[in-house]
Amino acid sequence: YDERYYNLVLPHFTLVFPVNNAEQKAFINHIEKASKKFKEFYFVLRCAQIVKDSFSDYTDLFLIPEEGYRIFVKLHDALYSGILEKELRLDIPFLPHLGIANNKDPLKCKTLSDEINSKNPEIFGAINKLDVVSFTNEKVETIKEIIL
Protein backbone atom coordinates (compact mmCIF):
# COMPACT_ATOMS: atom_id res chain seq x y z
CA TYR A 1 0.00 0.00 0.00
CA ASP A 2 3.02 2.27 0.20
CA GLU A 3 3.11 3.76 -3.30
CA ARG A 4 5.99 6.10 -2.61
CA TYR A 5 8.54 4.28 -0.46
CA TYR A 6 7.92 0.50 -0.63
CA ASN A 7 10.75 -0.16 -3.11
CA LEU A 8 12.99 2.55 -1.69
CA VAL A 9 13.48 1.92 2.03
CA LEU A 10 12.74 -0.78 4.60
CA PRO A 11 10.25 -0.07 7.42
CA HIS A 12 11.73 2.49 9.80
CA PHE A 13 11.10 5.33 12.22
CA THR A 14 12.46 8.70 11.06
CA LEU A 15 13.88 10.72 13.95
CA VAL A 16 15.74 13.44 12.03
CA PHE A 17 14.54 14.68 8.68
CA PRO A 18 16.84 15.66 5.78
CA VAL A 19 19.41 18.29 6.74
CA ASN A 20 21.38 20.42 4.31
CA ASN A 21 23.20 22.79 6.64
CA ALA A 22 25.51 20.37 8.47
CA GLU A 23 28.75 18.81 7.29
CA GLN A 24 28.51 15.00 7.32
CA LYS A 25 31.24 14.36 9.92
CA ALA A 26 29.88 17.02 12.28
CA PHE A 27 26.35 15.64 11.80
CA ILE A 28 27.42 12.09 12.66
CA ASN A 29 29.43 13.29 15.68
CA HIS A 30 26.39 15.21 16.91
CA ILE A 31 24.05 12.21 16.52
CA GLU A 32 26.53 9.97 18.38
CA LYS A 33 26.87 12.46 21.24
CA ALA A 34 23.16 13.33 21.49
CA SER A 35 22.09 9.67 21.53
CA LYS A 36 24.68 8.53 24.13
CA LYS A 37 22.27 8.76 27.07
CA PHE A 38 19.74 6.48 25.34
CA LYS A 39 19.78 2.71 25.44
CA GLU A 40 17.77 0.07 23.64
CA PHE A 41 14.03 0.58 24.13
CA TYR A 42 10.89 -1.30 23.24
CA PHE A 43 7.71 -0.23 21.52
CA VAL A 44 4.29 -1.64 20.73
CA LEU A 45 2.28 -0.57 17.69
CA ARG A 46 -1.46 -0.92 18.26
CA CYS A 47 -3.06 1.83 16.22
CA ALA A 48 -3.18 2.95 12.58
CA GLN A 49 -3.73 6.66 11.97
CA ILE A 50 -4.08 8.73 8.81
CA VAL A 51 -2.03 11.92 8.53
CA LYS A 52 -1.96 14.48 5.71
CA ASP A 53 1.57 14.67 4.30
CA SER A 54 3.10 18.10 4.98
CA PHE A 55 4.96 18.26 1.67
CA SER A 56 2.69 16.66 -0.94
CA ASP A 57 -0.86 15.85 -2.01
CA TYR A 58 -0.62 12.46 -0.33
CA THR A 59 -2.27 11.20 2.81
CA ASP A 60 -0.15 8.78 4.83
CA LEU A 61 -1.18 5.84 6.97
CA PHE A 62 1.00 5.37 10.02
CA LEU A 63 1.30 2.78 12.75
CA ILE A 64 1.80 4.78 15.95
CA PRO A 65 3.70 3.42 18.96
CA GLU A 66 1.48 3.26 22.03
CA GLU A 67 4.27 1.99 24.25
CA GLY A 68 7.65 3.62 23.72
CA TYR A 69 6.10 6.84 22.40
CA ARG A 70 7.67 9.11 25.02
CA ILE A 71 11.16 7.68 24.41
CA PHE A 72 10.83 8.34 20.67
CA VAL A 73 9.88 11.95 21.48
CA LYS A 74 12.74 12.42 23.96
CA LEU A 75 15.25 10.92 21.52
CA HIS A 76 13.94 13.13 18.70
CA ASP A 77 14.24 16.22 20.92
CA ALA A 78 17.78 15.29 22.01
CA LEU A 79 18.85 14.84 18.38
CA TYR A 80 17.47 18.26 17.45
CA SER A 81 19.80 20.04 19.88
CA GLY A 82 23.16 21.67 19.19
CA ILE A 83 24.00 21.95 15.50
CA LEU A 84 20.53 20.69 14.52
CA GLU A 85 18.54 23.06 16.73
CA LYS A 86 17.85 25.49 13.87
CA GLU A 87 16.79 22.61 11.58
CA LEU A 88 13.79 21.68 13.75
CA ARG A 89 10.50 22.40 11.98
CA LEU A 90 8.22 23.69 14.73
CA ASP A 91 5.38 24.07 12.21
CA ILE A 92 5.23 20.28 11.74
CA PRO A 93 4.56 18.26 14.90
CA PHE A 94 6.75 15.22 15.44
CA LEU A 95 4.69 12.03 15.41
CA PRO A 96 6.71 8.83 15.86
CA HIS A 97 5.43 6.37 13.29
CA LEU A 98 6.03 3.48 10.96
CA GLY A 99 4.66 4.41 7.54
CA ILE A 100 2.65 1.60 5.94
CA ALA A 101 0.60 3.23 3.18
CA ASN A 102 -0.03 6.44 1.30
CA ASN A 103 -2.39 7.62 -1.38
CA LYS A 104 -3.64 10.82 -2.95
CA ASP A 105 -7.15 9.68 -2.02
CA PRO A 106 -7.47 10.09 1.77
CA LEU A 107 -10.52 7.81 1.81
CA LYS A 108 -8.40 4.86 0.68
CA CYS A 109 -6.08 5.40 3.64
CA LYS A 110 -9.02 5.86 6.01
CA THR A 111 -10.63 2.62 4.82
CA LEU A 112 -7.39 0.71 5.34
CA SER A 113 -6.90 2.35 8.74
CA ASP A 114 -10.37 1.27 9.86
CA GLU A 115 -9.71 -2.27 8.63
CA ILE A 116 -6.40 -2.50 10.50
CA ASN A 117 -7.77 -0.96 13.71
CA SER A 118 -10.77 -3.31 13.70
CA LYS A 119 -8.30 -6.20 14.08
CA ASN A 120 -6.66 -4.71 17.20
CA PRO A 121 -3.08 -5.27 16.04
CA GLU A 122 -0.16 -5.65 18.45
CA ILE A 123 3.27 -5.39 16.89
CA PHE A 124 6.18 -5.56 19.32
CA GLY A 125 9.63 -4.23 18.48
CA ALA A 126 12.84 -2.74 19.79
CA ILE A 127 15.06 0.17 18.82
CA ASN A 128 18.69 -0.73 19.51
CA LYS A 129 20.51 1.34 16.90
CA LEU A 130 20.26 4.47 14.81
CA ASP A 131 21.20 4.54 11.14
CA VAL A 132 22.51 7.75 9.65
CA VAL A 133 21.59 7.51 5.98
CA SER A 134 22.05 9.36 2.73
CA PHE A 135 19.34 9.62 0.13
CA THR A 136 20.66 10.30 -3.36
CA ASN A 137 19.50 9.20 -6.79
CA GLU A 138 16.41 7.54 -5.30
CA LYS A 139 18.61 5.28 -3.15
CA VAL A 140 18.95 5.10 0.63
CA GLU A 141 22.35 4.05 1.97
CA THR A 142 23.55 3.72 5.56
CA ILE A 143 26.54 5.96 6.26
CA LYS A 144 26.92 5.16 9.96
CA GLU A 145 25.27 2.75 12.39
CA ILE A 146 25.10 3.97 15.99
CA ILE A 147 24.36 1.37 18.66
CA LEU A 148 22.18 2.54 21.56
Beta strands in 12-119 (DSSP E): 41-52, 59-67, 98-103
Domains (range + CATH), the chain: 24-147 (3.90.1140.10)
Mind listing the pLDDT tens digit for each residue in 83-139? 999 999 999 999 999 999 999 999 999 999 999 999 999 999 999 999 999 988 889
Q: Which residues contact 59 (CB under 8 A, 6 or more apart)?
A: 50, 51, 52, 53, 102, 103, 104, 105, 106, 109
The residue type found at 56 is S
Q: pLDDT tier at 44 (50, 70, 90 boundaries)? A: very high
Residue 9 clears pLDDT 90, i.e. is over it:
no
| Contact by Cβ (8 Å): 62, 97 | yes
Q: Please indicate, yes or no, whether the overall pTM of this predicted structure exceeds 0.85.
A: yes
| Contact by Cβ (8 Å): 113, 121 | no
Closest CA to 61 of 5, 8, 141, 131: 5
